């Protein structure tokens, strides 16, 4: 299984609010296979060298460079740290400490040195799900399966989760009438399935509390609809894996779940594109970097979609949002698109970090505005 530390919105906002030189952001593609991490550690050393070279070129004080260098070098040499990795590693380092996140996304290797952190690739990890849970619930069998992008499915141990309908309610079938009960409503198929679903939901609560990964229901009708209607977990997908899953192999469920996640992603991209087109006609959308920078500076961006790999270096005016571009990155400038994302977050806007091909107009960003500007 992948070992993941997904950032919360609060953590992302804290990183976005940080100002202080030097601030080093490193993104490293990693492997979850422990025996193959040697190459990742070597690449991290190379990225650290790039960061140190930029800091030295900017005449950064050695007392602020050494703690960063020593901290990341210690991370490279920490064998226990590399035993449990995911598909990418994000590192945010200052002279005062280091914060890491193990991410499910396969991000590009890169380093950014500035007086603020580079956050767009990190936001990608919480924009769309690459992992999910599948609740395979049926009269004959119930189980919770964890699904990742490229690892085998994994059974999740859920204390108190009934094995099946009979285990939950002490009845051999949801179709068998209980002549000892006077209320036909209490023994109807719908009522019994609802009681079963609630018992399953109650067992899942301690396991799923605080999680944000989608939960995909795999079940035949009416069980699928019954469970979705009573579930207390806020991230149950509209899409289901149809049909009885009692005897369905986990790898088959995992393949179906990945297709559902693709559908969820595509639907979100389509919704944004339709809203962008409508707002553009009203003068409330832009794909122009300079206009978006000005709008973000004035708190006018409601939703921003950015290219997760955008790399235009430069600066954005603190007061007027005016953009100036630089030919190469250094320890003073920063990613312009990333800065627009940072300002959007700080003004309470929503930021989606996506692939370049998913952006309306094929630019590096697309902004939906709260009002024309």
What pLDDT is stored for residue 129 in this prediction? 79
What share of the chain has pLDDT > 90, as a percent? 82
Residue 181: band (very low, low, confident or very high) from pLDDT cuts 50, 70, 90:
very low
Confidence of residue 176 (pLDDT cuts 50, 70, 90): low
Q: Quote the tokens at residue 36.
A: 């193959």
Given this model, what pLDDT does residue 172 score? Answer: 62
pLDDT score of 202: 97
| Domain residue ranges of the chain, discontinuous segments joined by + | 9-127, 132-267, 282-369
CA 129 remoteness from chain centre: 5
pLDDT at 3: 78
Arithmetic mean of pLDDT over the chain: 92
- In this predicted structure, the answer to whether residue 182 has a pLDDT above a threshold of 50 is no
Read off the pLDDT band of 184 (50, 70, 90).
Answer: very low
List the beta strands (DSSP E) in 117-248.
Answer: 132-137, 142-147, 154-155, 215-219, 241-242
Cβ partners under 8 Å of residue 250, min gap 6: 145, 152, 153, 155
Q: Which CATH architecture has domain 132-267?
A: 2-Layer Sandwich (3.30)
pLDDT, residue 205, reads: 96
Question: What's the topology of domain 9-127?
Answer: 3.30.960
- Residue 77 clears pLDDT 90, i.e. is over it: yes
- Specify the range with the lowest mean pLDDT, choosing from 3-12, 18-27, 141-150, 176-185: 176-185
pLDDT band with cut points at 50, 70 and 90 for residue 170: confident
pLDDT average, residue stretch 251-268: 94
pTM: 0.80
Two structure tokens written together for 367: 């902004």
Q: In CATH, what is the architecture of 282-369?
A: 2-Layer Sandwich (3.30)
Distance CA(226)–CA(231), nearest Å, equals 9
pLDDT given for residue 293 in this prediction: 98
Q: Which range is least confidently modeled, 144-148, 224-228, 285-289?
A: 144-148
Query: Residue 81 belongs to what H/E stretch?
Result: helix 79-83
pLDDT of 8: 85
- Lowest pLDDT segment from 136-145, 168-177, 262-271: 168-177
d(Cα 265, Cα 252) in Å, to the nearest integer? 20
Say whether pLDDT at 15 is over 50: yes
């Amino acid at each position: 299984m992948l070992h993941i530390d997904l950032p919360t919105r609060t953590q992302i906002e804290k990183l976005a609010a940080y100002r202080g030189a030097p601030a080093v952001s490193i993104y490293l593609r990693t492997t979850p296979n422990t025996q193959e991490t040697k190459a990742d550690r070597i690449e991290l050393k190379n990225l650290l060298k790039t960061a140190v070279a930029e800091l030295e070129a900017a005449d950064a004080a050695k007392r602020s460079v050494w703690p960063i260098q020593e901290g990341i070098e210690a991370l490279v040499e920490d064998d226990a740290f590399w035993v449990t990795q995911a598909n990418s590693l994000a590192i945010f380092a200052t002279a005062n400490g280091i914060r890491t996140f193990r991410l499910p996304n396969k991000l590009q290797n890169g380093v950014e040195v500035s007086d603020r952190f580079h956050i767009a690739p990190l936001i990608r990890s919480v924009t769309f799900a690459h992992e999910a849970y599948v609740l395979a619930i049926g009269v004959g069998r119930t189980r919770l399966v964890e699904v990742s992008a490229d690892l085998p499915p994994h059974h999740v141990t859920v204390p108190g989760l009934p094995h099946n309908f009979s285990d939950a309610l002490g009845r051999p079938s949801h179709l068998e009438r209980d002549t000892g009960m006077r209320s036909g409503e209490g023994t109807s198929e719908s009522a019994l399935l609802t009681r079963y679903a609630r018992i399953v939901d109650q067992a899942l609560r301690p396991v799923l509390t605080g999680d944000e990964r989608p939960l995909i229901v795999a079940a035949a009708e009416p069980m699928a609809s019954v469970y979705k209607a009573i579930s207390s977990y806020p991230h149950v997908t509209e899409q289901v894996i149809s049909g009885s899953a009692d005897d369905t192999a986990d790898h088959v469920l995992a393949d179906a779940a990945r297709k559902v996640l693709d559908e969820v992603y595509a639907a979100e991209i389509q919704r944004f594109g339709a809203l962008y087109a409508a707002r553009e006609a009203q003068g409330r959308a832009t794909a122009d970097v300079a206009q978006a920078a000005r709008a973000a500076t004035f708190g006018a961006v409601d939703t921003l979609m950015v290219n997760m790999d955008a790399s235009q270096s430069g600066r954005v005016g603190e007061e007027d949002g005016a953009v100036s571009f630089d030919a190469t990155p250094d320890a003073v400038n920063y990613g312009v698109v990333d800065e627009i994302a940072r300002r959007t977050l700080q003004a309470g806007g929503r930021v989606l970090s996506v692939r370049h091909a998913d952006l309306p107009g094929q630019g590096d960003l697309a902004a939906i505005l709260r009002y024309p500007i």
